[in-house]
Structure 1
């Protein structure tokens, strides 16, 4: 019996040595201390996390555990299993779906969309019509680019205004006024770009328009995926 008791005492002492009290805040419950102990071991075994990131994750976990204890929440309820929590730490914070989008990325996306539509439209049209029937400058590549930039800016402003919340939200009547102003500006821009001389704004062959349109589409898809651009027209 004495040998068994000594063995048990030795096991307890070894467990206590592997889990120093100084590393486990006394303010935490026993369950949370045990969770924190295994969390530290899991973080230390993860090569993707530096010592600073490990300590930051531990400090954050302790802070949330202490706050959770006030409402009776355990670490398991707050973070899930230790394995799940470590995976979330490695993945980093999730992007807020309601966070405001970068205005310039929205403008670029909208401009690419308009530029794509123009090029595909003229490319298909020129397959069935003689290029000479289309006035020089009407389908010029420079005209398309300028119109796409102006339209992209206007669409971006409309998008950001419609997605605004709270006090920043613009009334519907003001949105309608902005829409009318945008249409007038776009029409005036179209009239002006028609005056750009032919050598600088010449029409292109139909296949070239289609290729440019497809490239613009591919670039837009890549940018939307790479920068996680949301709340776009389509």
Structure 2
């Protein structure tokens, strides 16, 4: 009987796999890593990336064990975790963004609108009634910067990133102040002398507006700028 028992034990040991991960991990978690490692080998990930993913999981598993959580509870099934590792970490759509990038995006939007608007107006008007300074390129630039800053502040206060939103009455007050500041800025920029702030030909305005549009699209993709006006 003892010989038969030893043979059965030997057969069981042949089916047992080598533990994966530190000894502090429970057998269930080590088994999870073993099957995960086997599944990752079948992917196109390099061995370095496979090991890096496992190394990143181990501290979380050790911390989860203290709370009574298994690897499956933390990461889902092995198949689900393999997919997550291949796709990489997901970006949080509500994550806070660089406010200066938001301001740049808004300023480019306003600058684009001004140039396209004046370009179209001048193109269909033989004798423009818009006085020098009102449509000057320097005036547009200053107004775009001021408007971009105001729109950026509005976006930060209205955006939902897990923070408490500004009360509606405060947003209304902010909107009134923003309008007054923008109107005052518009009045001041019209005083800039013509040689520094002269009107440009219609075609030039349209080209500048198109360049601003292309640049805005590029920056939105390059820096993944979200929560913008449009």
Equivalent in the alignment of 2:210: 214
Superposed counterparts of 1:34-183, under 5 Å: 34-42=31-39, 46-47=45-46, 49=49, 51=51, 54-64=54-64, 67=67, 69=69, 75-76=71-72, 78-130=74-126, 132-163=128-159, 168-183=164-179
Query: 1:110: Cα distance to partner?
Result: 0.8
Distance 2:21 2:72 in 1: 22
Gaps of 5+ in 1: none
Q: Is the 8 A contact 1:68 1:78 kept in 2?
A: no
Q: Is the 8 A contact 2:33 2:54 kept in 1?
A: no
Alpha carbons of structure 1 residues 149 and 225: separation in structure 2 relative to 1, 3 Å:
same
Distance 1:98 1:37 in 2: 35
| 1:171-215 CA-partner distances (Å, limit 9, x unpaired) | 222222211111111111111111112222121111221121122
Which of 213, 221, 227 is 2:223 aligned to? 227
Which stretch shifts more, 45-54 or 194-203? 45-54
Query: 1:24: Cα distance to partner?
Result: 5.5
Q: Is the 8 A contact 1:24 1:37 kept in 2?
A: no
- TM-score, normalised with respect to structure 2: 0.80
Query: 1:138: Cα distance to partner?
Result: 1.2
Gaps of 5+ in 2: none
Q: Is the 8 A contact 1:120 1:213 kept in 2?
A: yes
Calculate the aligned-residue CA RMSD, in Å: 3.3
Query: 1:229: Cα distance to partner?
Result: 2.0
Q: Is the 8 A contact 2:122 2:202 kept in 1?
A: yes
Which stretch shifts more, 7-16 or 78-87? 7-16
More helix by share: 1
